[in-house]
């Protein structure tokens, strides 16, 4: 299948957006511990309490107003829905954006504003996260933190200014929905593009199991983490696409003209997820982190069991009224998670109705726990229609320093196609081609090479690097790389190897500049035996190099957990939306990552880019190998609440997520 080599720009449209209300979770109580760092600065190792910038607060609006704006608004419409998709060797039932896999490329120009009306036609609540963008906080798409999940049948307006050119993408931030096929490229063109090239090829890599012989990412998650389900959404039921994850749905809605959404932290809880939904001013049931703060590799963090709803008089919370018959709570600095009311859909619900929903939710979760226990008794691979998709424990990757992942995907895709019917690209000999690589996989790092060619790396994660020659390139989940190639005459394979997951686990696309047969699916170009380029071998371009000097604040993040328990965390604390690691606007912050696990992790920071040490590139996602220590720096210049998490979605949804929070001045 051939793809067009050119793109069309969107027409410039302007329109007002609907207005809706709601406030956001902005702080929580919590103990803090500080230890001296090697440079004498404070090293914070525990989530902190205090008062934090509200994602809809004036600080966020002010930061948005300072972003360069051309006056052009690109207004788009997007629907997430079920679909039957041809992936090249078979047809699968899955979820997609629009009617294709990957979703259609969205293109805007730096300085413009993106306005997208997003409709959720899925059976579960969802969101959109704009991966890698330094955008306004209330548009970041994180449930329980920056917005309510968008309920089935509802729409939400995302509107924000885009400033940094580069290769980005978007996907949900609810459960393991991304692994159902919900992802699409976002390309931000540079109005002063310095590179010269004849064609562009956007290449999206993905590992695929959804709809294959009954396989479902939600079931895989439950099999991996022993039935605990998702930390962040509706994936924990083990019911797959047919489940809404519980009896109570979260609130969605429309954004307002300035880009503020109908926010709060309403969250549709799935069985196995007990800290999902709205917030209040009580901290009576705050999670006890004692005993988890300084563990090492393999620390035994007890499996987290969601609490039952306590008997709580909702009238003791002070509401504000959004409209007739609607109950809204001021969620800034409050958390219903702390009193166990994680499943209450507060928007548009009276206190009496909310109490009834709480009772129904408790009964539903009790039944779900019993159901999960029965599935665990059946052993791995039982309790659903598909085979076990767990990777054998003996799998190893020398590149990644240990086990390459947890999931044995039956297919690996380039632009939604398997290697038996690959994506094709046509050019003429001598044409200069820009390839934008995006790894949208859930659990797989790829080694990528173009047969018969060397690549020149120009960007990673949207930012320019000093040009570097590469034979093969390692791309972890969520990373992006831009390369230039000069096309030779003939037919050439672009191969992505699922590193460490088996000799036959590859994806294929074809560059055709002349006559010749299509390469065999098993093709293995010699470039895959050449030197491997990784991010640490690159250097930032002069205009984007990090500042030198000591940081104002040091946050130590120990990556913890083990494969047997699948109990991933930062600093031993499984994720809850009320976690906060404090930073302040204007600071230069150092994140010191220490991987104390036997697994590699691609760690991603929302809303910012950080610099790798020793003049390394600016990135938003970095690969952490087992036992590795890495210190990265970023400027705290985008106020709000920002996620930090592993972008192996099965790790993040089993606990390896946390939140960096800007303190109010």
Residue 552: CB atoms within 10 A of its CB come to 16
Query: Averaged over 605-619, what is the pLDDT?
Result: 97
pLDDT at 49: 47
Residue 335 pLDDT class (50, 70, 90 cuts): very low
Tens digit of each residue's pLDDT (9 = 90 or more) over 420-435: 999 999 999 999 999 9
pLDDT at 126: 98
Of residues 73 and 334, the one with the higher pLDDT is 73
pLDDT at 478: 98
Query: Averaged over 51-64, what is the pLDDT?
Result: 96
Query: Averaged over 560-572, what is the pLDDT?
Result: 96
Query: Averaged over 354-381, what is the pLDDT?
Result: 39
pLDDT at 232: 66
Least Cα distance to 456 among 474, 470, 466, 437 occurs for: 470
How far apart (Å, rounded) are the C-alpha atoms in residues 556 and 356?
42
Q: Are 231 and 575 in contact (CB under 8 A)?
A: yes
- Residue 239, pLDDT > 80, answer no
pLDDT at 438: 99
Q: Are 201 and 481 in contact (CB under 8 A)?
A: no
pLDDT at 256: 31
Query: Averaged over 522-544, what is the pLDDT?
Result: 97
DSSP assignment of 566-610 equals T--EETTB---TT--EEE-TT-EEEEEEEE-SSB-EEEEESS--E
- Residue 352, pLDDT > 80, answer no
Residue 231 pLDDT class (50, 70, 90 cuts): confident
pLDDT at 45: 54
pLDDT at 50: 56
Of residues 262 and 401, the one with the higher pLDDT is 401
pLDDT at 48: 53
pLDDT at 90: 94
pLDDT, the chain, mean: 77
- B/e letters for 107-117, b = 16+ CB within 10 Å, e = fewer, are bbbbbbbbbbb
- Residue 278, pLDDT > 50, answer no
Tens digit of each residue's pLDDT (9 = 90 or more) over 286-333: 333 333 333 333 323 223 222 222 222 222 222 222 222 222 223 333
To the nearest whole percent, how much of the chain has pLDDT over 90? 66
Residue 557 pLDDT class (50, 70, 90 cuts): very high
Q: 319: helix, coil or strand?
A: strand
Which of left, alpha, beta for 572 (phi over 0: left; psi -120 to 50: alpha)?
A: left
Query: Averaged over 359-383, what is the pLDDT?
Result: 38
- Residue 620, pLDDT > 90, answer yes
Residue 47 pLDDT class (50, 70, 90 cuts): low
Of residues 15 and 463, the one with the higher pLDDT is 463
How far apart (Å, rounded) are the C-alpha atoms in residues 241 and 177?
10
Structure tokens at 251: 């609130």
Query: Averaged over 142-150, what is the pLDDT?
Result: 96
Four-CA torsion 540, 583, 647, 603, nearest 10 degrees: 50
- Residue 10, pLDDT > 70, answer no
Query: Averaged over 170-174, what is the pLDDT?
Result: 98
- Residue 63, pLDDT > 80, answer yes
Backbone angles phi, psi at 370, to 5 degrees: -65, -40
- Residue 16, pLDDT > 90, answer no
Least Cα distance to 266 among 190, 329, 352 occurs for: 329
Query: Averaged over 520-531, what is the pLDDT?
Result: 97
Of residues 268 and 189, the one with the higher pLDDT is 189
How far apart (Å, rounded) are the C-alpha atoms in residues 621 and 439?
11
How far apart (Å, rounded) are the C-alpha atoms in residues 33 and 177?
35
Backbone angles phi, psi at 652, to 5 degrees: -60, -45
- Residue 339, pLDDT > 60, answer no
pLDDT at 597: 97
Tens digit of each residue's pLDDT (9 = 90 or more) over 217-230: 999 999 999 999 88
Structure tokens at 276: 């999902």
Tens digit of each residue's pLDDT (9 = 90 or more) over 90-141: 999 999 999 999 999 999 999 999 999 999 999 999 999 999 999 999 999 9
């Amino acid at each position: 299948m051939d793809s067009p080599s050119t793109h069309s720009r969107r027409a410039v449209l302007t329109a007002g957006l609907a207005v809706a209300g709601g406030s956001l979770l902005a702080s929580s109580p919590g103990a803090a511990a500080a230890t001296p760092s090697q440079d004498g600065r404070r090293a914070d190792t525990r989530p902190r309490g205090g008062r934090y910038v509200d994602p809809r607060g004036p600080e966020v609006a002010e930061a948005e107003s300072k972003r360069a704006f051309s006056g052009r608004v690109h207004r788009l419409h997007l629907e997430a829905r079920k679909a039957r998709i041809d992936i090249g060797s078979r047809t699968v039932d899955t979820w997609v954006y629009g009617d294709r896999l990957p979703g259609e490329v969205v293109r805007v120009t730096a300085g413009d504003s993106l306005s997208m009306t997003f409709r959720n036609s899925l059976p579960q609540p969802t969101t959109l996260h704009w991966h890698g963008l330094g955008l306004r906080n209330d548009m970041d798409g994180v449930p329980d933190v920056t917005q309510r999940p968008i309920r089935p049948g509802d729409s939400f307006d995302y509107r924000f200014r885009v400033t940094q050119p580069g290769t980005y993408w978007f996907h949900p931030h609810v459960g393991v929905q991304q692994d159902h096929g919900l992802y699409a490229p976002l390309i931000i063109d540079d109005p002063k593009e310095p590179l010269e090239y004849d064609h562009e090829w956007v290449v999206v890599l993905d590992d695929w199991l959804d709809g294959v012989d009954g396989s479902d990412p939600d079931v895989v998650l439950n099999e991996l983490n022993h039935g605990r389900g998702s930390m962040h959404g509706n994936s924990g039921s083990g019911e797959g696409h047919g489940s809404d994850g519980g009896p109570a749905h979260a609130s969605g809605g429309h954004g307002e003209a300035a880009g503020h959404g109908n926010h709060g932290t309403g969250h549709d809880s799935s069985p196995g997820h007990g800290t999902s939904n709205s917030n209040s001013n009580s901290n009576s049931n705050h999670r006890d982190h004692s005993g988890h703060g300084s563990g090492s590799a393999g620390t035994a963090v007890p499996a987290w069991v969601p609490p039952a709803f306590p008997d709580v008089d909702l009238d003791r919370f002070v509401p504000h009224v959004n409209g007739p018959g609607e109950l809204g709570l001021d969620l800034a600095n409050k958390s219903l998670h702390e009193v166990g009311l994680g499943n209450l859909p507060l928007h548009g619900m009276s206190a009496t109705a909310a109490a009834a929903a709480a009772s129904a939710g408790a009964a539903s979760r009790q039944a779900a726990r019993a159901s999960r226990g029965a599935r665990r008794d059946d052993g791995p691979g039982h309790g659903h229609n598909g085979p076990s998709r767990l990777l054998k424990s003996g799998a190893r990757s020398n590149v990644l320093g240990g086990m390459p992942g947890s999931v044995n995907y039956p297919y690996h895709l380039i632009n939604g196609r398997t290697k038996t019917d690959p994506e094709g690209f046509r050019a003429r000999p001598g044409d200069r081609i820009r390839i934008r690589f995006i790894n949208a996989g859930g659990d797989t790092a790829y080694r990528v090479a173009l047969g018969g060619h060397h690549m020149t790396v120009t960007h990673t994660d949207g930012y320019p690097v000093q040009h570097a020659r590469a034979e093969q390139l390692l791309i972890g989940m969520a990373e992006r790389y831009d390369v230039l190639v000069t096309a030779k005459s003939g037919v050439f394979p672009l191969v992505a190897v699922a590193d460490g997951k088996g000799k036959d686990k590859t994806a294929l696309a074809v560059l055709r500049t002349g006559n010749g047969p299509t390469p065999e699916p098993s093709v293995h170009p010699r470039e895959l035996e050449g030197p491997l380029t990784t991010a640490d071998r690159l250097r930032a371009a002069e205009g984007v190099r990090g500042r030198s000097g000591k940081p104002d604040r040091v946050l130590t993040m120990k990556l913890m957990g083990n494969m047997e328990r699948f109990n991933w965390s930062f600093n031993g604390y499984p994720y809850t939306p009320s976690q906060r690691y404090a930073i302040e606007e204007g600071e230069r912050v150092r994140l010191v990552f220490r991987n104390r696990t036997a697994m590699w992790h691609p760690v991603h920071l929302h809303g910012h880019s950080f610099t790798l040490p020793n003049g390394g590139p600016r990135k938003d996602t970095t690969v952490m190998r087992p036992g590795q220590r890495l210190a990265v720096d970023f400027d705290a210049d985008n106020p709000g609440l920002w996620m930090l998490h592993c972008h192996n979605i099965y790790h993040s949804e089993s606990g390896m997520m946390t939140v960096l929070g800007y303190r109010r001045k």
